[in-house]
Structure 1
Amino acid sequence: MNITKHDRFTPIRTALAACAISALACLPGIASAQQKLTFAIPGIPPIFGGTIALVAEQQGFFKKHGVDVAVRAFETGAAASRAVATGEIAVAFSPTPLVVSQVSNSDVKLIGIYGMEHPDWLIGSTDPNATCASMKGAAVGVDSVGGARSIALKTMLMGSCKMKIEDVQEVALSSNGPAAMAAGQLKFGVLHIDDIPFIESQTKKPVKMVVKQLDSRPVDHYMMLVANKDKLAQNRDAYVRIIAALIDAQRFMRDPANAAKVAEAAKPTGRSADLAEKALKAYLAMEFWPDNTDGLGRKNIETLTQVMKKVGNIKQDKAPAPYERIADPSVWRDARALVKP
């Protein structure tokens, strides 16, 4: 068979043409970044802390950085982290106490790639005379038994009230505890700071802050954006781009001129525009969303890990996982390089 020079190069030209038509398919890193990825935020309705992901989606920051991301609310951060661990979804905001316990106890394939170091948890009450002592035997609203609010309750009871979790009755309500308190169905609940103005707007009475977690443990870690270790290794570029979008979203949220747009993005949380703007100011004041850092402070995470061992969330026969197994700050560093100074 005679093969001409033209014939020999035809397959090459065809392949190059295919690449030109579909360049993404010929560049694995970029192609993988274009896959539909799910970003889970905890709570139905979502907690206000997840607003940063809603802003990144609504303001087009994910698209700007070349990732196709859908933000989806999960009932709890625990449910979201399980979906990440099984590979069902790409990333999720999940409570750090839960993540370090899961990794230490079972070597679950989760790793933090971005974080929020400052917890806003508190135990609040509609009873103006409430104290630690008056909580004994009382019903306390949490998300789920063993979930983020439940773990926060346990640590606040032990740290500030010298009580055990068994001294109260946990009532699992997802993120609807504040609504139950506003309706007079509960006197106590584990709350976020944005829950307080909501309850007060409904009851027309002040909420008593019985315990604040930051008072009982100033060095702490609240929440991580977790990825599946294997998926991160396979498609790292996409995760870097997700973090780049969050960096842009945080900058957007810090600009007072954008407060109304942030409040609009926060609608899924159930907050009115007025309450959302008040919550935004409070969260920015405490640097809830990290400003030009990865939010994965070694001291914060290692301190929390030791607390989880002390309170029994890390099993007696298990050693706390090292920082390097829990967090990977390099993803944020690469994402920061994609974002303009």
Structure 2
Amino acid sequence: MRSMSRALCGAAMAFASAPAFAEKLTLAMPGVPPVFGSVVTYVAKEEGFFKKHGVDVEVRNFDSGAAAAQAVVAGSIDASLSPTPVIVRMISNAGVDLVSFYGMPNPDWLLGSVDPSLSKCQDVKGQGVGVDSIGGARAVALEQLIRPCGLKVDQVKLVPLSTNVGAAMLAGQLKLGVLHLDDVPVLEEQLGKKLTVVQSFKDVNQRSHYLVMVALRDKLKEKRDSYVRLVAALIDATKFTLDSKNLDRVAQIATVTGRTPKTAKETLPLFVRIELWPAGNDGLGKDNLEAVVATEKELGGIKPGKTPVAYEKLVDRTVWKDAKALAGK
């Protein structure tokens, strides 16, 4: 009888913590197909973590994280996972009231070449380089990848291809492209040779930031409980993703990125090693984000006369804090 009472009490508490109905949020992911950073979101969807936390999440893919953020500003999307430098530019230059409530601090960008004769940073001058979009994440990353040899982005030819940069390199349409870690094994397998890495992000920028999940500040305030539940689901999904026992299942879910289960399984440990998905924190560290703001000011991404966004305006860390209290329950 006592055990039954405890069970009923637990059920009542769980019911009390769940909303009367699941409010719908529309979440935009970068890339068609989406980039690997989105895998945790799809794990949350496929493994039922959104449902568990009482939030109905529709996931949509956009050509780029920049386009996804613009949809948030337009009001057609509730939140997006977008490149941090792009968000810093949007807030600083245009004064849009976006706020970050979750982040991924560790970029995996690299500048790859299928032509061994184009192996040095200075070789990139005047060449066509595959990126996602003009002003998108890969284009912004390229600015930092070629900075060590004194090149600026207007000294190369940007070729916008969404997430199809690797495919264009395989087809012989391009010799150079800004790539993700998971692009490398695919290219090497199909090329039958090693890809030449001209420059990797970890070599040129030790303190940076990759992606932030953003919403309009007013909408975050209006639907705050749903955003908290969204992040709680992502926290649980991250824990599931990082557990090696779930590698096969996560690799299967990761096929949404266009990778085969085999390639996804081989690549997942590489992303775990660089701590792509934050565990035990919100991924919004002040030092990393302020470093992005400083870099964007130096590169001219923040226009002259514009005030760089302050860290306190850029983030809302209370959402993750409240979500952490829900996660795992």
Q: Structure 2 length as normaliser, TM-score?
A: 0.92
- Is the counterpart of residue 92 in structure 1 residue 80 in structure 2? yes
Identity %, equivalent residues: 47
* 2:70 alignment partner, one of 82, 100, 103: 82
What per-residue deviation string (whole Å, max 9, x for no partner) do you get for residues 215-243 of structure 1? 11101111001111110010100000000
Name the counterpart of 2:194.
Answer: 206
* 2:126 alignment partner, one of 137, 150, 153: 137
- Secondary structure at 1:113 match in 2: strand
- CA RMSD in angstroms comes to 1.4
- Is the counterpart of residue 247 in structure 1 residue 235 in structure 2? yes
Preserved CA contact (<8 Å) 2:236 2:328: no
Inter-partner Cα distance in structure 2 for 1:79 and 1:111: 16
Inter-partner Cα distance in structure 1 for 2:96 and 2:193: 44
Name the counterpart of 2:13.
Answer: none
* 1:38 alignment partner, one of 26, 45, 58: 26
Inter-partner Cα distance in structure 2 for 1:95 and 1:70: 20
Larger radius of gyration: 1
Deviation at 1:251, TM superposition (A): 0.3
Question: How many residue pairs were aligned?
Answer: 312
Name the counterpart of 1:311.
Answer: 299
Preserved CA contact (<8 Å) 1:87 1:231: no
Deviation at 1:70, TM superposition (A): 1.4
Aligned amino acid, residue 146 of structure 1 = G
Inter-partner Cα distance in structure 2 for 1:179 and 1:49: 19
Residues 149-228 of structure 1: pairs in structure 2 closer than 5 A: 149-158=138-147, 160-228=148-216
Inter-partner Cα distance in structure 1 for 2:288 and 2:159: 29
Deviation at 1:134, TM superposition (A): 1.6
Inter-partner Cα distance in structure 2 for 1:83 and 1:337: 30
- Secondary structure at 2:234 match in 1: helix
- Secondary structure at 1:266 match in 2: helix
Aligned amino acid, residue 86 of structure 1 = A
- Secondary structure at 2:151 match in 1: coil
Inter-partner Cα distance in structure 1 for 2:306 and 2:211: 22
Structure 2 unmatched ranges of 5 or more? 1-15
Inter-partner Cα distance in structure 2 for 1:319 and 1:82: 20
Inter-partner Cα distance in structure 2 for 1:49 and 1:198: 17
Preserved CA contact (<8 Å) 1:122 1:190: yes
* 2:39 alignment partner, one of 51, 63, 86: 51
What per-residue deviation string (whole Å, max 9, x for no partner) do you get for residues 321-341 of structure 1? 100111111110000010138
Inter-partner Cα distance in structure 1 for 2:150 and 2:199: 12
Name the counterpart of 1:271.
Answer: 259
Name the counterpart of 1:291.
Answer: 279
Deviation at 1:65, TM superposition (A): 0.3
- Secondary structure at 2:256 match in 1: helix
Q: Structure 1 length as normaliser, TM-score?
A: 0.89
- Is the counterpart of residue 281 in structure 1 residue 265 in structure 2? no
What per-residue deviation string (whole Å, max 9, x for no partner) do you get for residues 24-55 of structure 1? xxx9x935x72221111100111111111111
Preserved CA contact (<8 Å) 1:128 1:206: no
Inter-partner Cα distance in structure 2 for 1:155 and 1:325: 25
Q: Which range moves more in the overlay, 217-226 or 101-110?
A: 101-110
* 1:125 alignment partner, one of 84, 98, 113: 113
Preserved CA contact (<8 Å) 1:137 1:167: yes
Deviation at 1:268, TM superposition (A): 1.6
Deviation at 1:128, TM superposition (A): 2.3
Name the counterpart of 1:72.
Answer: 60
Structure 1 unmatched ranges of 5 or more? 1-26
Inter-partner Cα distance in structure 2 for 1:189 and 1:266: 22
Aligned amino acid, residue 264 of structure 2 = A
- Secondary structure at 1:119 match in 2: coil
Aligned amino acid, residue 256 of structure 1 = S
Name the counterpart of 1:15.
Answer: none
Inter-partner Cα distance in structure 2 for 1:120 and 1:138: 22
- Secondary structure at 1:39 match in 2: strand
Inter-partner Cα distance in structure 2 for 1:52 and 1:175: 18
- Secondary structure at 2:308 match in 1: coil
Preserved CA contact (<8 Å) 1:154 1:164: yes
- Secondary structure at 1:30 match in 2: coil
Name the counterpart of 1:11.
Answer: none
Inter-partner Cα distance in structure 1 for 2:285 and 2:124: 33
Deviation at 1:162, TM superposition (A): 1.4
